Structure 1
């Protein structure tokens, strides 16, 4: 019986570590850089509500960056990191040099995420390839662990060669 509880405790410890890594580490180590923030609503206690702007550089396509803006809830709950941010966001992707599609580029791939609540909600950027028009299409969506959201934004970047 003691062996069972020891094995159960070890399993739970591993499960908790994996859960924390999944929740707090961005997908695949893909990084983003915060560009800035604009205060949108004054809060007497805790930080103000804001619109945050982050840049995501495409890890597989050189010279493409996506800029995502999203609402961040302030106040006491927001300052503690437990407020759920609303699914309000925008996306604009640009080419800042020649864009060539790598031969092994998947037709669709997640390339980054933004945490929108302490545990269960993320905004995810997915890259799609429109091979017919030689264009990269980026989609930003809102997800929750149990129920997703129809909120989305899209941006496209033409490639100069294939």
Structure 2
């Protein structure tokens, strides 16, 4: 069992995807049994762009199913990315790359954040959306972080 945990940790660390930090939450509906329905706000530092953090708000289902981790969270999410320090790049970026994904249900539904590079405007674009194996959602949110022209965004 320890080997499985070690392998899982190595895969997680080696994936290069950002990890969420919970900032806070607000209750949206009281549930007599189990946790209340909520809107949670989480922060994600871009793992390949130092100085950029994305804040995502999303619905989290409560109740008995939510408390047991069996509920499917809604597809709605909002994103806002900001420069929080000096922007720098360790390596060239891909034109488009998924930087984070998180499961929203026990089966096949994920919240995704994709970074795109607008070379002409020297800007990083972040898109959040959810997908599902059979029927994804077109609901999405987008934000942009302009990078100072003295720091060109390196591309692969």
Q: TM tier, shorter chain?
A: 0.7 to 0.9
- How far residue 27 of structure 1 moved from its aligned partner, in angstroms, is 9.1
| Structure 1 runs not aligned, ≥5 long | 1-16
Matched residues in 2 for 1:58 and 1:87: separation?
A: 22
Q: CA RMSD in A?
A: 1.9
Does residue 50 (structure 1) correspond to residue 50 (structure 2)? The answer is no
Does residue 139 (structure 1) correspond to residue 139 (structure 2)? The answer is no
Q: TM-score, normalised by structure 1?
A: 0.80
| Matched residue SS, 2:53 | strand
Which has more radius of gyration?
1
| Structure 2 runs not aligned, ≥5 long | none
The structure carrying a bigger strand percent of its residues is 2
CA distance 1:67–1:26, shift in 2 (3 Å)? farther
Does residue 89 (structure 1) correspond to residue 82 (structure 2)? The answer is no
Matched residues in 1 for 2:117 and 2:45: separation?
A: 16
* Number of aligned residues: 140
The structure carrying a bigger helix percent of its residues is 1
Deviation sequence 1:87-146 (CA, Å, 0-9, x none):
111100000123245661110000001221112111100000000000000000111112
The correspondence for 1:104, drawn from 77, 82, 92, is 92
| Matched residue SS, 1:78 | helix
| Matched residue SS, 1:86 | coil
More displaced 10-residue stretch of structure 1: 108-117 or 128-137: 108-117
